Amino acid sequence: MSKVVKKLVSRDIAARLKGVNDAIVVNIVGMTGEENFNIRKTLREQGIGIMVVKRTLAARATEGSSLRPAFDNLAGSVAVIWGCEDFVALTRSVTKLVNSGQFPKLEIKGGVMDGEALTADQVKKVSKWPSRQEQISILVGQILSPGATLSGQLVGPARMIAGQVKKMIENQEEAGE
């Protein structure tokens, strides 16, 4: 491939990955066309992008970006997967596809999160983390928990006093009858 063509391909890759900060790198070599189509369709339905690239061209295209570390220590063609609402959701989707057994040749090679390279095992560990929405719900629960406790402590004694006053009123009404 000539230098001019490499520059054009690198620019195209850089344009497609512009704004992408986190990605997973997988190996799909040896898959049939039907399996490849099914993977792409499944990922597309989830709003996830996939692009098969030569590692050296992808490294050249992502030079200076947070994606660059993903292509170190790899060889040959790889598929870059990005998208989803957050990186944890992306890792869950890809790990689910790998573990499904539906695509035996699909293999996670690594990834990059916040500019830091991840191994395949680290990507699988990230897939077990709580997603962004789950983290927000945990945080909101932790914020609201002391308020609920305080509310219960304030309302509890008042409720007890109100019950005693009601009982006294009922006793007086019975005695007056």
Same domain, 64 and 21: yes
Same domain, 87 and 144: no
Same domain, 105 and 138: no
Tokens standing for 55? 């590692």
pLDDT at residue number 41: 92
> 155: domain range?
131-177
Query: Does 156 or 15 have the greater pLDDT score?
Result: 15
pLDDT at residue number 150: 77
Query: pLDDT averaged over the chain?
Result: 85
Same domain, 37 and 122: yes
Model pTM score: 0.71
Same domain, 125 and 81: yes
Same domain, 53 and 39: yes
CA distance 92 to 134: 13
> Phi and psi at residue 26, in whole multiples of 5°?
-125, 165
Same domain, 163 and 101: no
SS3 percent helix, strand, coil of the chain, rounded to 5, is 60, 15, 25
Residue 164: pLDDT band by 50, 70, 90 thresholds?
confident
Among 66, 123, 120, 138, residue whose Cα is nearest residue 92: 123
Same domain, 104 and 163: no
Tokens standing for 6? 């490499």
Query: Does 94 or 157 have the greater pLDDT score?
Result: 94
Whether the per-residue pLDDT at 148 is higher than 80: the answer is no
> What is the domain count for the chain?
2
How confident is the model over 45-95, as pLDDT tens digits? 989 999 988 888 888 888 888 888 888 877 778 889 998 888 888 899 999
